[in-house]
Structure 1
Amino acid sequence: MSVHRLPTSIPWRSLFWSALALITFVALMPWTQELPKPFQWSDKLNHFAAFVVLVWSLKAAYPLKNRQAWLWMLAYGAAIESIQYFLPWRSAEWADLAVDALAALTGLLLYPFFERSVICLWDIMPSYKKHQQGK
């Protein structure tokens, strides 16, 4: 099995911490209206997408084993739900934490695909110097 190396010129740590900050902000901000009936499950889809992105960016940024990354994401999800419990405009739900855990696990299972995709896209993108030489 070959070892993949993500491009080091991409600021993975900055991307991870930016994603974490944005997702934390969105998770804690007040919402003023309920979602319409057909979109009530979109909350779970939002959790799922957020935790897949977080675990991908975490694995790209730091050399963690899958178990470590999953535990960090589980701890983060539990922290968010715990904080939401004390916010009058939010509610804590066990189902959200379960979706977070499942999404992190799914993200870890799909991480090799993410990694190969980034490497392939990076390889086919012309570098800045090549682009400038053609002008």
Structure 2
Amino acid sequence: MRPLPRPLSWKRLFWLALAIIAFLALMPWTQELPKPFRWSDKLNHFAAFVVLAWLLMAAYRPGWLRSWGLLVAYGAGIEGIQYFLPWRSAEWADLGVDALAAMTGLILYPFFVWTVNKILSIMPPYKIDNEGQ
């Protein structure tokens, strides 16, 4: 499998995603979700940590075990901060979903690489045309 190109944009996307997830996880949330949608919190956690796993591997390639440990530590940090915020609550279930999602993202990472490489191979090369300016 051909590795992903390592443009600076993977690192930017990773740090942007990390910041957005932290912001959303720590901001005040006053509304209670309707009963059929209460499970969506776990889906949000799952999707966020799958994407974080992909971006972390694409940006830094730290290895599977280290990536998983870093992502679980990030999730634990968020839950730890939420414990002290009066408008949020920390849940072990959230941390469990974060850990499971990080592992799932790492397992599916080769598929992510294959998909991105396939898309890049179909797209015409990007070039800047300075003619006519």
The TM-score, its normalising length taken from structure 1, stands at 0.91
Partner of 2:17: 19
Structure 2 residue corresponding to 1:62, chosen from 60, 76, 82: 60
Q: Distance in 2 between matches of 1:131 and 1:114?
A: 31
Partner SS for 1:129? coil
Unaligned 5+ runs, structure 2: none
Question: What percent of counterpart residues are identical?
Answer: 65
Task: Tell me by how many angstroms 1:54 deviates.
Answer: 0.4
Contact 2:6-2:58 at 8 Å conserved across structures: no
Partner of 2:38: 40
Q: Distance in 1 between matches of 2:18 and 2:6?
A: 20
- Which structure 1 residue ranges, 4+ long, deviate > 6 Å from structure 2? 130-133
Query: 1:32-62: per-residue Cα shift (whole Å, max 9, x none)?
Result: 2010000000000000000000010000000
Task: Tell me by how many angstroms 1:11 deviates.
Answer: 1.0
Partner SS for 2:127? helix
Q: Distance in 2 between matches of 1:120 and 1:130?
A: 23
Partner SS for 1:17? helix
Root-mean-square deviation (Å): 1.7
Amino acid at match of 1:46: N
Aligned residue-pair number: 131
The TM-score, its normalising length taken from structure 2, stands at 0.93
